[in-house]
Chain A
C-alpha cells in the first residue's frame, strides 16, 4: 500500500502566518519565541489532518522549519506599522515604574531610543535573514512537538472480507 506524501506548504503557510502575526502584534507578542513553537505545532496539526498516512517526527521537523521561515517574514512585515506602538508601550511602562525604581539597568536608555521609523533596508534584510534562521530552529522544535501531540496515527488494519453467503438450497428453486 503506497503512502501519500505529506503536502507541507499549505500547513506551513497557515501556521507560520498565525505565529508571525501574533509575534508582531503589541501586548500579545510578550510570548515571543513561544508563538513560533505554537505556530509550528499548529502547522503539524494541519498536516496531520490533511495526510492520510502516519506522520513521523521528520515530517514535523520539515513543516515546522517552513512554518518558522514564514513566521519570520510575516513578523517582519507586521512589525513595520507596530514598531512605534511597541516602543511607546515600553516607554509608558517604564515611566510608571520610575517612581518606584531608583536605579535602572544600564543600556535601557539606548534600548528605548530605538527609531520608530525603523532600520535601513539593508539592516531590515539582515534582521530578516537572522530571524528566519532562528525561527526555523524554533519551528523545527514546534513541528516535532506538534506531530508528537497530534500526528502519530496508527493506520487501522483492513478487516477481512466477509465470507460469501452459502448457495441457496433446492427448496428455493421454485
Chain B
C-alpha cells in the first residue's frame, strides 16, 4: 500500500494547501464566469469584447456552436463537454475540504481516476469512430464526472511543489547561517 506523500507537520501542510485551494477556487470561479460572459456580451451587442473572450477560450475548445449550450441566445465560450469538465472541477473543489481536508496532500488512487475517466473516454471514443453522436447532455455529464477528480490531483501537486520548495529554501538559509557562525 502506498504511503501518503506528506512533507511535514500538519500545520506546515495547511499553510501550503489552503492558499493554493483559495487561489484555485478563485481562478475556477473566474474561468466559469468568463465562459458565460462571452455570450452575455454578445447579447448586449458588445461584439469586440465578446470576440476577445471567445478567443481566450479558443486554444482549449473547438467551440463548434451546435455542441455548445446557449446563454442569452448565443453559444457559451466552450462546448458542452468542456463546460462539464470545468463545472466538475468546481464541484470537486467544493468537495475537497470535506473529503481530504487541508492537513494532508494525497492524490486519488489510480483505479478511481481510471474508473471515473471511463464514461468520457467511451463517449469520446465512440464519437471519434463514428459509432454514435452523443447528445450535449451526455457530453456534459461525462465531463462533470471526470472533472470532479481533477482538483484532488491539482491541489496535491501544487501544494507538494510549494512545500518542497519552501523546505529547500529553509535548508539553504540554515546552511548559510551555519557557514557564517563557523567563520
A62 and B42 CA atoms in complex are apart in Å by 38
CB–CB B157/A105 < 8 A = no
A140 and B154 CA atoms in complex are apart in Å by 7
Contact of B60 among A32, A93, A143, A149 (CB under 8 A): A32
Q: Is the interface of A mostly helix, strand, loop or mixed?
A: helix
Q: Is the interface of B mostly helix, strand, loop or mixed?
A: helix
Q: Interface size for chain B: under 10, 10 to 19, 20 to 34, or 35 or more residues?
A: 35 or more
Q: Is A159 an interface residue (CB 8 A)?
A: no
CB–CB A105/B107 < 8 A = no
A99 and B173 CA atoms in complex are apart in Å by 71
Q: Is A130 an interface residue (CB 8 A)?
A: yes
Q: Could you give, for residues 76-112 of chain B, a 1 whenever the CB lies within 8 Å of some chain A CB and a 0 otherwise?
A: 0000001001000000000000000000010110100
CB–CB B157/A58 < 8 A = yes
CB–CB B157/A60 < 8 A = yes
CB–CB A154/B2 < 8 A = yes
Q: Within the complex, what minimum Cβ distance (angstroms) separates B15 from chain A?
A: 16
Q: A23's closest neighbor in chain B, by CB?
A: B59
Q: Which residues of A contact B85 (CB under 8 A)?
A: 33
Supposing A32-B82, A105-B66, A105-B70 touch, asked if A56 and B160 sit within 8 A by C-beta, the answer is yes
Q: Which residues of B contact A134 (CB under 8 A)?
A: 56, 59-60
Q: Is A13 an interface residue (CB 8 A)?
A: no
A34 and B79 CA atoms in complex are apart in Å by 13
Supposing A61-B160, A107-B65, A134-B59 touch, asked if A148 and B107 sit within 8 A by C-beta, the answer is yes
Q: Within the complex, what minimum Cβ distance (angstroms) separates B21 from chain A?
A: 15
A33-B60, A75-B59, A147-B157 known, 14 other contacts, Cβ within 8 Å? A30-B62, A57-B160, A58-B164, A105-B66, A107-B75, A110-B51, A111-B65, A127-B58, A130-B56, A134-B56, A134-B60, A140-B158, A141-B154, A148-B110
